Amino acid sequence: MDNTDKDWIKDNVGDISTDSGDFEGEVFWSTDGKHTVHVKASTKDGRRSALAWGNEVYKRIKDTYGTKQAQSVKEYAKEPIEDLGKCSSCGAPNKKSLKSGKLYCSALCWKN
Ligand SMILES: [Zn+2]
């Protein structure tokens, strides 16, 4: 933790005694949306500072990137809707089974 971090914590989290509150903080950003905030401290003050820092960083990451689920939804929304053609029996648009990947009639006409 350098002085910039101490100032940032003081400005964003509150006044924390930082002289003996040394800690290591690290963040892993991941494209799968499972971001990780990690802190390590060996003193009580350190843990207090680390928790304040970690909580704030975690909140910022969540606000910026969203949860893993929210990121998935955003990614899937980008996928173009592919033209699956029309049912040869009734002409309704085809759908693709998410389970098997096979095409089927969206009107389920074979059931009639
Ligand atoms: Zn059909």
pTM of the predicted structure, to 2 decimals: 0.51
Task: Give the model's pLDDT for residue 17.
Answer: 47
40: helix, coil or strand? strand
- Give residue 27's Cα distance to chain centre: 13
- How many A from CA of 102 to the centre of ligand 1? 14
What does DSSP say about strands 94-96 and 36-40: parallel, antiparallel, or unpaired?
unpaired
d(CA 23, CA 19): 11
How close is the Cα of 87 to the center of ligand 1, in Å? 5
Mean pLDDT of the chain: 83
Measure the CA angle with vertex 101, ends 92 and 75; round to 5°.
95
Average pLDDT over residues 11-39: 78
CB atoms within 5 A of ion ligand 1 belong to: 87, 89-90, 92, 105, 107, 109
**Burial of residue 44 (number of CB atoms within 10 Å: 0-12, 13-18, 19+):** exposed
pLDDT at 87 over 90: yes
The rounded Å distance from CA 85 to ligand 1 centre is: 11
Is residue 18 very low, low, confident or very high in pLDDT (cuts 50, 70, 90)?
A: very low
Res 7 pLDDT > 90: no
The Cα–Cα gap between 3 and 18 comes to 10
